[in-house]
Amino acid sequence: MTQIIVLPHVELCPEGAVFEAAVGQSICDALLDNDIEIEHACEKSCACTTCHVVIREGFNSLEAAEETEEDLLDKAWGLEPTSRLSCQALVTATPLVIEIPKYTINMAKEGHSKK
């Protein structure tokens, strides 16, 4: 099992979280299994950007993103050099620190403005 630290997110995880995830599990599934309801509008099929996360620590331990994921990430709100789609990034033996961006493209289109 690998430790994952999730930085506080005002809506999804206000206090932050620390939990263990199985090696080989997607970051998205690990978040959902630990009651962090990250959006995944395409049902984890690598067809949207709603599960976008920023890997603050442990990024280099992840397998490189495939071209489809890279193309989608170009459309993600708040893209950073260590951004990944959580449905595509698989947990390795290296601990991770993850930040869930404040907004997704869906939230911006729907007009959410919670602070």
Name the pTM for this structure: 0.89
Domain residues of the chain, as ranges?
A: 2-110
Taking Cα atoms as reference points, which of 102, 111, 108, 65 lies closest to residue 85?
65
Summarize the confidence of residues 56-80 as an average pLDDT.
95
* Per-residue pLDDT tens over the stretch 24-34: 999 999 999 99
Predicted pLDDT of residue 63:
97
**Distance from chain centroid for Cα 32:** 10
Superfamily of domain 2-110 in the CATH hierarchy: Beta-grasp domain (3.10.20.30)
